[in-house]
Amino acid sequence: MLGRTASGLFWMARYLERFENTARLIDAGFRMSLTRARTARSEWESVLTTAGTRDLYLEHHDSFSTSRVVDFSIANRDNPSSLYNSIAAARENARMTRTALTRDVWESINETWLACKHDFEAGEFRNDLPDFLSGIRQHAALVRGTINGTMLRNEIFRFVKLGSLIERADNTARILDTKYYVLLPSSASVGSSLDRVQWEMILRSASAERSFHWLYGGVMDPGAIVDFLIHDVRLPRSIAYCYDAIVDILNGLEVEYDRRTASQDLAARHEAHITSSTSDAIIGSGLHEFLIDFIARNAALSQQIETDYRFTN
Amino acid sequence: MAGERKFFDEMHGFGDGVRAPYEDYNTILTNIDTARLKTKAVKAEEFFRRTGITFNVYGAEQAEERLIPFDLLPRIISAQEWRTLTRGIEQRIKALNAFLHDIYHRQEILRAGRIPAHLITQNEAFLPQMIGVNPPGGIYTHIVGTDLVRTGPDEFYVLEDNARTPSGVSYMLENRETMLKMFPEVFSHIGVESISDYPAMLRRSLAASPPPASTSKPTIAVLTPGIHNSAYYEHAFLADQMGVELVEGQDLKVVDGRIAMRTTCGFEPIDILYRRVDDDFLDPLNFNPDSVLGVPGIFDIYRAGGITLANAPGTGISDDKALYSYMPDIVEFYTGQKPLLKNVETWRCSEADSLAYVLENLADLVVKEVHGSGGYGMLVGPAASQSEIETFRAKLNANPSNYIAQPTLSLSTVPIFTESGLAPRHVDLRPFILVSPHAIEVVPGGLTRVAMKEGSLVVNSSQGGGTKDTWVLSDD
């Protein structure tokens, strides 16, 4: 396969994942803004921080109002991570790699783009935000379904998977890092209702609230949340799950290409780093530092994959 | 209306009942109710949009992707009519290849004085770099899309030869797919020649002209300028259907005297490149130095026999509209036969007498740029306003040799489906032809372009034209 095609598939998947994650973040933020009007401003700020667009937002606006943050995160074309730009970039990459995609995958992405483009331009998301976001989740699920249901399990599928897993691991780390202070034992109001709402938002942002309650029976504990999102390989949005899958996929590429790459070693090292540390140890020695370090490692792996598989000249 | 020109309608002739090729279809059509047809028309458009069968319009803001309108009524050609056409096309394409070989080698036709030398040597589409080069398999035009128009039951004219990089074949194939989906039962009642193996034919035809450096089963790739090109959908479609890589210039470089593509496992040589990038942009070292679409050094590799380029560089000269006027001479010179297909009478504005005639009759003529295509930069006299005519007159006076003029042809019509029922619209026909050292294959079908606006003679998609499925009936 062409290196450029591998690159297109990888980035198509990253943007699709980002599209979905951003929608989920906005949804969680919106819920907080409804339930807790007093702290709405800082909740929206943390949504932007998680999306990595806070500084850019502040270049355009000087306060965090719901309508401005929502507009900025959904339809703003200057915001590279807006829903608009994410799905546009995903589709552009899909168009570029069209010969590698099944008809079902291409059509589901194209349809998502056409539907969203219409909503973005007509501004319809402003009328009923939860409805709009749930539509996005449905589209994202459809795309994921066609990818899983119709694609050959070969190099094409592997690069798509690598892209979504790398993006997802990054996203989960960012969700935790934005709120790391409410997960620390030193937090002034441990166990207060304020904390529980914050914890709920963390889980919701990772689509993990139902799973968490299923496993932990409704007992909210910050250590358990950290453990769940970082270490639990049963949770498809946990960092450990992502790295377990990344290592598998890179090994699969080794078999397919009959060639071992530096990416494999790097991914294996990162996986060991994640699984060898308990959540107590992580919290003890600095959750924020751990997450910042992980985000950098994850970005380095992405770079290494681009080099090893010749995404560019 | 009285006094209006009478056009030949391919379904209804000159108003004397349904013509034979349309009889069976007409019987079926009269039994489908209009409401159902309307639903089908909406479904067809949905299908095209969802599949992303779009083209980009140059000059439109942000190169907006547009759908080409698709009309549900087929354009039908009888087996007998098709045989006649095929013979004429084959003759013309043989002559074109012989002509291209000649002008890049001994230039016999110039020595014989059959066409003026300046038309070749001064032509910007003539590539001096191709002189003495022998393309693999001796083929210049691997893929051709001859534009034909019809004016009567037996009157076919070649309008353009399109030997450079003809496009539209993906529409031919998708139109048929759509029709098969919409009206499966019709195809079981009417014998229509299949066109679906075009991609396999194309692959076979290209593979028959490997370069000298090729050692095993040739590797084929399609070269596209990228996703913003107006025909990108088609490039991706063809690569996909042939099962070959779709490459861009940035994927390619010279490795060990071959053109190689960057894969996830390193560089792999390409034997045959179906390039959809114009000559000018093909190689910044040999042609336009500003091009970022091509591959530096590819022309040197080509000359050394390291790769086949389809179509060969320098074929574009045969699309020149001033040269077009000499096609009857060209066909006769190389085949020794009278041309089977008609050429449209053409006035070369570079000649003083012709220019004078053209300026006097602008309101009745079609005026085209010699290197123009896509319906851009042309004047359709009878449809133009006085001020448009005056603007064109000024252009003509400023640079006469840039233009040719032709009579306004009475293009045949075929009915389209409109809100208020069937209505005749003007059409042209672009059959696709594959040339290999063993055969000239004319695919039994083609792209029928239709002017959707009542009375309009301009069928180009960039000017709002649509398409129809084209049926060639099988012999019973």
When pLDDT is cut at 50, 70 and 90, the band that residue A182 belongs to is confident
Within 8 A of A114 by CB-CB distance, chain B residues are 49-50
Q: How many residues are present in chain A?
A: 313
Q: Is the model's pLDDT at B473 over the cut of 80?
A: yes
Relative to beta strand B342-343, strand B308-310 is unpaired
User: Could you tell me if A77 lies within 8 Å of chain B, comparing CB atoms?
Assistant: no
Span A27-41, mean pLDDT? 77
Q: Closest chain B residue to A108 measured between Cα atoms?
A: B50
Best probe of the B interface among A99, A103, A162, A254, by most B CBs < 10 A, is A99
Average pLDDT over chain A reads: 91
Average pLDDT over residues A47-61: 91
The alpha carbons of chain A give a radius of gyration, in whole angstroms, of 19
At B288 the pLDDT is 87
- Say whether residue A140 is in contact with chain B using an 8 A CB cutoff: no
Q: pLDDT-based confidence at A190, cuts 50/70/90?
A: low
**A2 → closest Cβ in B49, B240, B245:** B245
Averaged pLDDT, A172-186: 83
Examine the pLDDT at A187 and tell me if it is beyond 60. no
The answer to whether B19 contacts chain A (CB < 8 Å) is no
Tell me whether B266 touches chain A (CB under 8 Å).
yes
| Residue given tokens 């995958």 in the structure block | A105
Q: CB-CB: which of A96, A99, A107 is closest to B51? A: A107
Question: What digits encode the pLDDT tens for the residues B326-379?
Answer: 999 999 999 999 999 999 999 999 899 999 999 999 999 999 888 766 666 788
Q: What is the pLDDT of residues B215-256, one digit of tens each?
A: 889 999 999 999 888 889 899 999 999 999 999 999 999 999
B 342-381 → A contacts, CB under 8 A: none
Range A239-260 average pLDDT = 97
Convert B176-194 to b/e letters by CB count within 10 Å (16 or more is b): bebbeebbeebeeebebbe
Of B247, B248, B264, which is closest to A6 when you measure between CB atoms? B264
pLDDT in tens, B391-414: 999 999 999 988 999 999 999 999
pLDDT of residue B3: 42
Look at residue B35 in the predicted model and tell me its pLDDT: 87
Which residues in chain A are closer than 8 Å to B54, comparing Cβ atoms? none
In this prediction, residue B124 carries a pLDDT of 86
What was the pLDDT predicted at A108? Answer: 95
CA distance B45 to B175: 11
Residue B17 contacts by C-beta under 8 Å, 6 or more apart in sequence?
Answer: none
pLDDT at B63 over 70: no
Between A4-8, B208-212, B279-283, the lowest mean confidence (pLDDT) is in B279-283
Q: How far apart are CA B186 and CA B157, in angstroms?
A: 30
Give the pLDDT band (50/70/90) at residue B65. low
Percent of residues, chain B, with pLDDT higher than 70? 95
Q: Does B261 touch chain A (CB under 8 A)?
A: yes
Closest residue in A to B229 (Cα) is: A96
Give A310's contacts in chain B (Cβ within 8 Å). 262-266
Task: Please give the pLDDT value at position A38.
Answer: 65
Nearest chain A Cα distance for residue B342, angstroms: 40
Distance from CA of B240 to the nearest CA of A (A): 5
A110–B239 CB contact, under 8 Å? no
Decide: helix, strand or coil at residue A2. strand
pLDDT at A121: 86
| pLDDT (average), residues B67-96 | 95
Residues of chain B with C-beta less than 8 angstroms from the C-beta of A309: 264
Tell me the CA end-to-end span of chain A in Å, nearest whole number: 15
Q: Distance between terminal CA atoms of chain B?
A: 40
The C-alpha torsion from B210 through B228 and B260 to B216, rounded to 10°, is -30
User: What is the mean pLDDT of the segment spanning B461-471?
Assistant: 88
Mean of pLDDT over chain B: 91
Condensed to tens digits (0 to 9), the pLDDT of residues B98-121 reads: 999 999 999 999 999 999 999 999
Residue A44 contacts B where some CB pair is shorter than 8 Å = no
For the cut 50, the answer to whether the pLDDT of residue B184 exceeds it is yes
The per-residue pLDDT for B48 is 80
User: What residues contact B54, with CB distance under 8 A and at least 6 apart?
Assistant: B48, B65, B66, B67, B68, B233
A155 touches B: beta carbon within 8 Å: yes
Q: What pLDDT digit, counting tens, does each position of B426-447 carry?
A: 999 999 999 999 999 999 999 9
Instruction: Provide the shortest C-alpha distance from residue B139 to chain A (in Å).
Output: 28
Q: How many CB atoms lie within 10 A of CB B36?
A: 9
Give mean pLDDT, residues B4-23.
89
Cα(B194)–Cα(B282) distance, rounded to whole angstroms? 34
Tell me what the mean pLDDT of segment B289-295 comes to.
Answer: 87
In chain B, whose CA is at the least distance from the CA of A100? B240
Answer whether residue B27 shows pLDDT above 60.
yes
Between chain A and chain B, how many beta carbons pairs sit less than 8 Å apart? 60
* Residue A3 in tokens: 């290196």
Q: What is the mean pLDDT of residues A145-165?
A: 96
- Backbone phi, psi, residue A132, to 5°: -60, -45
Whether B64 shows a pLDDT value over 60: the answer reads: no
Closest to B252 in 3D by CA, of A306, A2, A9: A2
- Percentage of chain B beyond pLDDT 90 is 72
* pLDDT-derived band at B272, boundaries 50, 70, 90: very high
Question: Which residue in the set A4, A114, A259 is minimally distant from B248, CB to CB?
Answer: A4
Query: At A43, is the pLDDT very low, low, confident or very high (cuts 50, 70, 90)?
Result: confident
Interval B52-77 mean pLDDT: 70
What pLDDT is attached to residue B61?
A: 41
A143 touches chain B (CB under 8 A): no
Looking at residue B2, its pLDDT comes to 37
Q: What is the pLDDT of residue B55?
A: 62
Nearest CA in chain B to A98: B236
Chain A CA closest to residue B251: A4
CB of A259 within 8 Å of any CB in chain B? yes
B292 touches chain A (CB under 8 A): no
The pLDDT, as a whole number, for residue B375 is 64
